[in-house]
Structure 1
Amino acid sequence: MIKVKNIYYMLSYAYQSLNEASFKNIQTEEFENLHDLMAAILVRGVSNQLKRGLHKDYLVYTEATGNLKGKIDISNSVRQNTLMTRRMVCHFDQFSENTPLNQIVKTTMVLLIKSGDVTVANSKELKKLSLYFRNIETLNPFAINWNALIYHRNNATYKLLINICQLIIKGLLMTTETGEYKMKEFLDDQFMHRLYEKFLLGYFKKEYPHFTVGSSYIKWNVDGDITEFLPNMKTDITLSYGTKTLIIDAKYYGRTMQTNTLFNSKSIISANLYQIFTYVKNKDRTGSGHVSGVLLYAKTDEELTPDHDYSIGGNRFSVKTLDLGADWGGIVGQLRAVAALL
């Protein structure tokens, strides 16, 4: 089981905004559960945003009114027979704070307040902050269109807040048979896999500035220029230093090994090994042997955890396990060993 404090450290590397001074004291706090950690992050994030001011935007409203404004909708006015009451259907813009971004933040705060797993102190803080959102509507959390959200210069400061809200709503929230909302005890594997990738990328970027760190595309090493229908190859993390390159494929699964029932044996999951092999061999176009690959699994409850190095066709391939349930110092030591593979 991953310690709650480790989740915070992972988030702080995944989202660099959490390294601002206003979030620093979270590192010294102890949290009994993930919900309270998320509440603490949201309290500080919303407080920061209120100091900057809530985002406002022009929103389109439709209303049957006797005070004509905006664009008059003749067709709907006739259809609704509003002329009998000396009114017309009008479409008009209004500068309002009732924007989707603020609605998502308020919805998430309300869910945390109702969850029952947030400490009294953090719950009180969320309730105080929600007073600033009294003119803002809440949403059906499962009907939020996250892909429709657009960021620009005037609302860019909401990125961290919305990422945390999405983590809470999509990673922790579920409905009961009665249709009520309930919080899961821990993030599901899908969200943990994304967080795991972002954490590793952010960690190596910050702690190893002398490396070139990124998520890069690899071109197929084809004969000729025909690449039609070949899939894109994009690495989770690529570390480069001098002439050497290390490709890291992050894996957060419920299991790390596959079982051959016929021979009652275990082996590395075939598809994962084939994937990292393909990345390395196509990246090392000259066959220099300077490109290596590592499958970095998050440790599961399985008794057998892979920790092996192989030399295949002149390139080194490693299969390692990162124990996210260890103390943070232990995790740092494990990541140091991964960086040493470069």
Structure 2
Amino acid sequence: MIRIKNVYYMLAYAFQTLNEAEFRSIQAEEFKNLHDLMAAILIRGIGNQIKRGLHRDYIGQTEATSNLRGKIDVTNSIKQNTLLARRMVCHYDQFSENTPLNQILKTTMLLLVRYGDVKEDNRKGLRKLTLFFQSVETLHPHSINWSAIIYHRNNATYKMLINICQLVIKGLLLTTETGKYKMKEYLDDQQMHRLYEKFILGYFKKEYPHFSANASYIEWNVDDGMTDFLPAMKTDITLIDGSKTLIIDAKYYGRTLQTNPLFNSKSIISGNLYQIFTYVKNKDRDGSGNVSGVLLYAKTDEEITPDNDYIIGGNRFSVKTLDLGADWNSIVKQLSEVAALM
């Protein structure tokens, strides 16, 4: 089972903002659970954002008022009989802190306060921060349109905070049969998979700066130039060092092997191997053999742990596991062995 402190390190590499000075004190703390870790990160991050100033934007408002402003809605004024009270329905924009970004922050803080297993100091810290959000509304957590959030120069400092909120709401929050909320002890596999990919990429970017590390696209090695309807190939992590390329496909599953019940045998999950094979072969357009591929699984509680290397058609393919339940120094050693496959 993954250690709580290791989750922090994963977050720190996935979101480089956590390596800034104001967050470093978290490294020295011990957390009994993930709720407490998320609370500590938000307390520091939102506190820093308040010092910078909460994001504001023009929010559309509609009201019947005697102080005419914005666009007057004559049709609705007649329908609502506002003229009798010497009022008109007006549509106008108000510069406000009640933006979706601040609404997400407030909603997440209150969820952790009410339903999280958070120590009292952090619970008080979250409550104190919510006082700065009195003019901000809360949201129904499962109605948040995460894909609609757009970052720009004026709100870029919110990106890490919103990612943490997304992990809390999408990865930890459960709705009970009675409609109430409760929080899981660990992130669900889907959110851990996303974090795992970001962590691996962020780790190699920071710790191996001599590599070019990116989540890059691979073009199909077609003979006639026809690529219509071919799916895009985007790698989780591509490392380039001179003429050599290593493509890493990060996998966070409940199992790393598939079972053939007919022969009672286990093998690497077919789709995963076909995927990395396709990436490598299309990347190695001239057949140089300088492109390799790795399936990097997060270790599960299965008895058999894949640790294999294959040479197929002149390219090396490796299947490795990363034990996130080990101490951090061991994880660093395991990742250095992956880098050595370059």
The letter for the 1-side match of 2:28 is: T
Aligned residue for 2:294?
294
Q: What pairs with 1:47-196 in structure 2 (closer than 5 Å)?
A: 47-196=47-196
Aligned residues: 342
CA distance in 1: counterparts of 2:327 and 2:16, whole angstroms? 21
The letter for the 1-side match of 2:130 is: S
Aligned residue for 1:328?
328
Shift of 1:150: 2.0
**Secondary structure in structure 2 of the residue aligned to 1:118:** coil
The letter for the 1-side match of 2:107 is: T
Cα deviation per residue 1:221-269 (whole Å; 9 max; x = unaligned)? 1112111111111111111111111111111111100001000000001
**Secondary structure in structure 2 of the residue aligned to 1:63:** strand
Shift of 1:152: 1.7
Moved more, 42-51 or 114-123: 114-123
CA distance in 2: counterparts of 1:212 and 1:151, whole angstroms? 25
CA distance in 1: counterparts of 2:245 and 2:182, whole angstroms? 45
Shift of 1:116: 4.3
Aligned residue for 1:263?
263
**Secondary structure in structure 2 of the residue aligned to 1:302:** coil
Q: Which runs of 5+ in 1 are unaligned?
A: none
Q: What pairs with 1:191-206 in structure 2 (closer than 5 Å)?
A: 191-206=191-206
Shift of 1:59: 1.0
The letter for the 2-side match of 1:7 is: V
The letter for the 2-side match of 1:144 is: I
Runs of 4+ deviating beyond 3 Å: none
CA distance in 2: counterparts of 1:283 and 1:101, whole angstroms? 39
Moved more, 326-335 or 109-118: 109-118
Cα deviation per residue 1:134-165 (whole Å; 9 max; x = unaligned)? 11111111111112222221111111111111
CA distance in 1: counterparts of 2:219 and 2:240, whole angstroms? 17
CA distance in 2: counterparts of 1:231 and 1:116, whole angstroms? 41
The letter for the 2-side match of 1:10 is: M
Aligned residue for 1:308?
308
Contact 2:35 2:116 in 1 (8 A): no
CA distance in 2: counterparts of 1:222 and 1:153, whole angstroms? 40
Check 1:275–1:116 CA distance in 2 against 1; reply closer, same or farther (3 A cut).
Answer: closer
Moved more, 142-151 or 298-307: 142-151
Q: Which runs of 5+ in 2 are unaligned?
A: none
CA distance in 1: counterparts of 2:53 and 2:81, whole angstroms? 42
Task: Say if 2:175 is the partner of 1:212.
Answer: no
The letter for the 2-side match of 1:158 is: Y
Cα deviation per residue 1:62-121 (whole Å; 9 max; x = unaligned)? 001122111110010111111122111111111111111111101100001112400001
Aligned residue for 1:273?
273
CA distance in 2: counterparts of 1:227 and 1:81, whole angstroms? 61
**Secondary structure in structure 2 of the residue aligned to 1:338:** helix
CA distance in 2: counterparts of 1:48 and 1:226, whole angstroms? 51
The letter for the 1-side match of 2:25 is: N
**Secondary structure in structure 1 of the residue aligned to 2:102:** helix
Identity %: 76
Contact 2:11 2:199 in 1 (8 A): yes
Moved more, 143-152 or 276-285: 143-152
The normalised TM-score by structure 1 is 0.99
Contact 2:276 2:295 in 1 (8 A): yes
Shift of 1:192: 0.4
